[in-house]
Amino acid sequence: MGLKLRVNSGLNWVFAQTKSAIIIEDDCLPNPDFFSFCDTLLDRYETDERVWVITGNNFQNGRKRGNASYYFSKYNHCWGWATWRRAWIKNDPQLSFWPEWKESQIWISSMPDKIERRYWSNIFDQMYRNEINTWGYPWTASVWYHGGLTATPNVNLVKNIGFGPDATHTIAESDQDGQTVYPLGPTTHPEDVVQDKKADRYVFDHNFGGLEQRLHRRLLRLPRRIAGKIFRTFSNRRVSHPVD
């Protein structure tokens, strides 16, 4: 059936049976605290329409956001996550809302960074044309379209060991061990359900190539020989894509 259709059909079946679920992507290994974290938050935010996803992934490279065990992000990383039927039933794999939404002031105001907006607009355009065989990007777009937030732990709870030459999307030259996981301990809660925009800017810049894109724009103003040398050096870092 392919990745897009199979995951969607599988989760449609799951949420026809139960009102909430914890999902582990293939090739992903969780710390045991991941399950208690999800259980606690599935109960706490069961009827809170502001919260759509609980993720086990953290890509802040040791930076703690806020004073609680987790913070709220727009990025619904899915290498180990949980959600509710109330959210999943609003998933639109065909992105039927995208043509109108991308021309709206709501889309522009929700993505004020022009570089980030251009990046995601390009991906959602491809998804709308059915050019990418994945379920993750449409789910992300659906969460954003409805203004949903994702509870994100302040340590990484799930690692993906599926990076390698035979991967579907996380292709690398050789097999990789994945990001280290840590225990979370007892769960403490933030005072407010509010997006941490600074944390999300960090994720875009370091995991979706935002820094490279900003650098490229600046280098266009430099002599070609100097710009090329700087860009080649900077681009040697591997960029992961934790949405998919």
Please give the distance of CA 31 from its chain centroid, rounded to a whole number: 19
Per domain, the residue ranges of the chain are 3-234
Q: What distances in angstroms separate CA 108 from CA 74, 95, 116, one per listed residue?
A: 15, 17, 11
**How far apart are alpha carbons 110 and 115 in whole angstroms?**
13
pLDDT the model gives residue 209 = 84
pLDDT mean across residues, the chain: 87
Q: What's the CATH number for 3-234?
A: 3.90.550
- Say whether 29 sits in a helix, a strand or coil: strand
Tell me the average pLDDT across 201-207: 94
Give the tens place of pLDDT for each residue, 80-127.
999 999 999 999 999 999 999 999 999 999 999 999 999 999 999 999
pLDDT the model gives residue 11 = 98
Specify the pTM.
Answer: 0.85
- Say whether 87 sits in a helix, a strand or coil: helix
Lowest mean pLDDT among 46-55, 104-113, 219-228: 219-228
Contacts of 218 (CB under 8 A, 6+ apart): none
**DSSP line for 42-85:** HHHTTT-TTEEEEE----STT---SSSSEEEES----SSEEEEH
